């Protein structure tokens, strides 16, 4: 994971050699949950399943807590 310039801090990006990407962005205002984006260039669309449980919300802590 690395932090990139040009995005609100803190931010984290991960780039893997096989083409997968993960991005975690801080939310504004601070009491909103962060945004997580993950992509896969090789995920076969026919594996999609509807009706899977929605993941829990990850809460952002105030700085210094």
How does pLDDT run across 20-62, given as a tens digit for each residue? 777 777 777 778 888 888 877 766 777 777 887 877 777 777 7
- pLDDT at site 65: 67
Q: 61: closest CA among 3, 6, 10?
A: 10
Q: What is the CA radius of gyration of the chain?
A: 15
Give pTM, 2 decimals: 0.40
Q: What is the pLDDT of residue 18?
A: 74
């Amino acid at each position: 994971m690395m932090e990139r310039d040009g995005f609100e801090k803190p931010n984290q990006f991960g780039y893997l050699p096989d083409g997968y990407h993960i991005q975690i962005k801080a939310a504004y205002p601070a009491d909103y949950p962060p945004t997580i984006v993950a992509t896969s260039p090789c995920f076969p669309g026919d594996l999609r399943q509807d009706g899977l449980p929605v993941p829990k919300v990850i809460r952002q802590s105030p700085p210094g807590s």
